[in-house]
């Protein structure tokens, strides 16, 4: 069988990391492109990425692009795709459209015509439209193409209206959250507080298990050209299912995973045998939880389900079998004896413990309530790695943050044995306050801001005076 054209998107700047990760998962025929990695593969490759990737946000099965300037053409071209190879008769699906600079500018209308084209191909009647949960739930979706009378009748169908009414409130909330997210991206530095957005990001999509695994046809229309892709992941892959409690400005799971990989790729070359891993600003524990998974060879997607399991491809992508294959090829990345997490906020420590329990790694972590100066990781006398997300941004006065970074750097410089350090920050000046030689590895996005991953290996025995930070 001819392999599918697949795409694994990720946050900007993480593409090379994702490519190396996919290589480890046995994914061949890859190509790095802006925003992710393209590759060829069958259903089993999709499941390998869903289970094994900590950096990809989704897995999309792409179809050939086509041009359409009329809704009737859009419906007809959609019906020419072999949907019967992928979608099941007894399962719902959704359609989500992103439309820009297109004559068919009405996203809701595009979604409906795509849904009708799919139903046409599957040989289902308009009364089966309840399976296609496609409408954005505007209170009044008008016929934006008077020439498409058949589609007008479909929108008038009572079953379709019942579906729209039942999902109207949820979709309106989702649209409001999406608009808020867009505003945050366009003017993030003007925000006084990013914590509320981080919480919303976790909880806004806390849908039922059925919604989290719903197959979605994603449509991108640009300049009258339409690209359709079947989302086989369901909820974004970074939603592992454990981070239900958050602290201030937490890292998303994929960012935390990427930061730990950056630390391991750089520091393990310099530190012969890392014995201790630590995060003295652990917050809700995401970095430590992702580190436990990486260091102990666990699969990022081990605790969740995926949309591919509700498609016809499921017969060729058994999650249990593929998980066993992946685990047989995974090895521990370092001989770490302890993972030491701490935070000055008692509430954050409690959240981290609960999240670690949900992730199934609580026994692999030590999570304690300590101020920075008393963080357990700074008291070890064996080679260590510190990976952390220290505070930055507009929440605290810049003077307070500089003092905090200075204190962090001083504690690192006091450590007797070689210590790998990796951190994420949006402010290079704060990084320079550590007075340790941090190298900028990559930049990406977090909470609407551009952030940098910084890394070094500090060896007190080889350092006479602190180097200036190259960040």
Q: What is the arithmetic mean of pLDDT over 247-275?
A: 83
In a domain, 384, yes or no: yes
Domain check: are 258 and 218 in the same one?
A: no
More confident residue, 267 or 275: 275
In a domain, 288, yes or no: yes
Domain check: are 190 and 327 in the same one?
A: no
Domain check: are 294 and 186 in the same one?
A: no
Q: Determine the pLDDT at residue 55.
A: 99
Sheet containing 366-369: which strands, arranged edge to edge? 366-369, 338-343, 276-279, 384-388, 419-425, 449-458, 439-446
Contact partners, residue 458, CB within 8 Å, separation at least 6: 412, 413, 415, 418, 419, 420, 421, 436, 437
Whether residue 240 is predicted with pLDDT greater than 80 in this model: the reply is: yes
Q: Determine the pLDDT at residue 190.
A: 37
In a domain, 446, yes or no: yes
Domain check: are 282 and 421 in the same one?
A: yes
What's the distance, CA 404 to chain centroid?
A: 29
Domain check: are 292 and 399 in the same one?
A: yes
Domain check: are 138 and 262 in the same one?
A: no
More confident residue, 170 or 246: 246
In a domain, 239, yes or no: no
Q: Determine the pLDDT at residue 348.
A: 96
Whether residue 218 is predicted with pLDDT greater than 50 in this model: the reply is: yes
Which domain-ending residue is among 201, 231, 261? 231
Domain check: are 111 and 257 in the same one?
A: no
Give the total number of structural domains in the chain.
2
In a domain, 209, yes or no: yes
Cβ pair 42, 85 in contact under 8 A:
no
Domain check: are 203 and 327 in the same one?
A: no
Domain check: are 344 and 387 in the same one?
A: yes
| CATH code of the domain in which 423 resides | 3.40.50.150
Cα–Cα dist 65/63, whole Å: 6
Domain check: are 283 and 423 in the same one?
A: yes
* The two three-digit tokens of residue 347, written as one number: 């509430």
In a domain, 419, yes or no: yes
Q: What is the arithmetic mean of pLDDT over 81-109?
A: 94
Q: What is the arithmetic mean of pLDDT over 183-190?
A: 43
| CATH code of the domain in which 70 resides | 3.30.2130
**Least confident stretch, 169-178, 207-216, 305-314, 360-369:** 169-178
Domain check: are 331 and 410 in the same one?
A: yes
Which among 169, 161, 108 is positioned nearest to 135, based on CA atoms? 108
In a domain, 155, yes or no: yes
Band (pLDDT 50/70/90 cuts) for residue 82 is very high
In a domain, 261, yes or no: yes
* CA–CA distances in Å: residue 96 to residues 108, 177, 220, 231, 415: 9, 15, 9, 10, 52
Question: Which range of residues forms the domain containing residue 158?
Answer: 60-231
Domain check: are 212 and 348 in the same one?
A: no
Whether residue 216 is predicted with pLDDT greater than 80 in this model: the reply is: yes
Whether residue 77 is predicted with pLDDT greater than 50 in this model: the reply is: yes
| pLDDT tens for each residue of 423-463 | 999 999 999 999 999 999 999 998 888 999 999 988 877 76
Query: What does pTM read for this prediction?
Result: 0.81
Band (pLDDT 50/70/90 cuts) for residue 412 is very high
Which domain-ending residue is among 167, 201, 231? 231
The residue length of the chain stands at 471
């Amino acid at each position: 069988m001819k392999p599918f054209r697949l795409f694994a998107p990720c946050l900007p700047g993480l593409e090379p990391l994702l490519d190396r990760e996919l290589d480890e998962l046995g994914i061949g025929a890859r190509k790095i492109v802006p925003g992710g990695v393209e590759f060829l593969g069958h259903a089993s490759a999709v499941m390998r990425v869903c289970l094994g990737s900590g950096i990809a946000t989704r897995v999309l099965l792409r179809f050939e692009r086509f041009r359409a300037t009329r809704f009737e053409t859009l419906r007809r071209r959609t019906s020419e795709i072999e949907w019967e190879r992928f979608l099941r008769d007894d399962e719902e699906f959704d359609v989500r459209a992103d439309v820009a600079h297109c004559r068919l500018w009405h996203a809701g209308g595009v979604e409906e015509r795509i849904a009708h084209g799919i139903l046409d191909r599957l040989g289902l009647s308009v009364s089966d439209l309840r399976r296609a949960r496609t409408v954005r739930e505007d209170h009044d979706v008008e016929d934006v193409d008077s020439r498409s009378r058949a589609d007008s009748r479909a929108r008038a169908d009572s079953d379709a209206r019942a579906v729209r009414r039942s999902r109207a409130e949820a979709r309106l909330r989702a649209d409001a959250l999406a608009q808020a997210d867009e505003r945050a991206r366009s003017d993030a530095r003007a925000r006084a507080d990013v914590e509320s957005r981080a919480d919303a990001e976790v909880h806004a999509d806390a849908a039922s298990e059925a919604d989290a695994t719903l197959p979605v046809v994603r449509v991108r229309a640009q300049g009258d050209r339409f690209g359709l892709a079947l989302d086989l992941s369901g909820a974004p892959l970074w939603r592992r299912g454990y981070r239900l409690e958050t602290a201030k400005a937490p890292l998303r799971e994929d960012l935390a995973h990427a930061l730990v990989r950056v630390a391991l790729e750089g520091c393990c070359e310099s530190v012969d045998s890392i014995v201790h891993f630590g995060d003295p600003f652990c917050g809700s524990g995401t970095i430590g939880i992702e580190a436990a998974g990486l260091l102990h060879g666990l699969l990022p997607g081990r605790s969740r389900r995926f949309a591919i399991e509700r498609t016809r491809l499921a017969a060729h992508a058994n999650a249990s079998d593929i998980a066993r294959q992946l685990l047989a090829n995974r090895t521990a990345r370092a001989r770490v004896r302890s993972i030491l997490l701490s935070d000055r906020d008692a509430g954050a420590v409690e959240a981290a413990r609960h999240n670690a329990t949900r992730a199934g790694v609580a026994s692999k972590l030590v999570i304690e309530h300590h101020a920075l100066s008393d963080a357990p990781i700074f008291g070890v006398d064996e080679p260590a790695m510190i990976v952390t997300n220290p505070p930055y941004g507009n929440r605290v006065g810049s003077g307070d943050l500089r003092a905090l970074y200075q204190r962090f750097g001083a504690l690192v410089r006091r450590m007797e044995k070689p210590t790998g350090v990796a951190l994420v920050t949006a402010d290079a000046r704060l990084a320079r306050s550590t007075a340790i030689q941090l190298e900028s590895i990559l930049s990406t996005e977090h909470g609407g801001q551009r952030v940098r991953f910084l890394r070094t290996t500090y060896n007190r025995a080889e350092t006479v005076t602190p180097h200036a930070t190259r960040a």
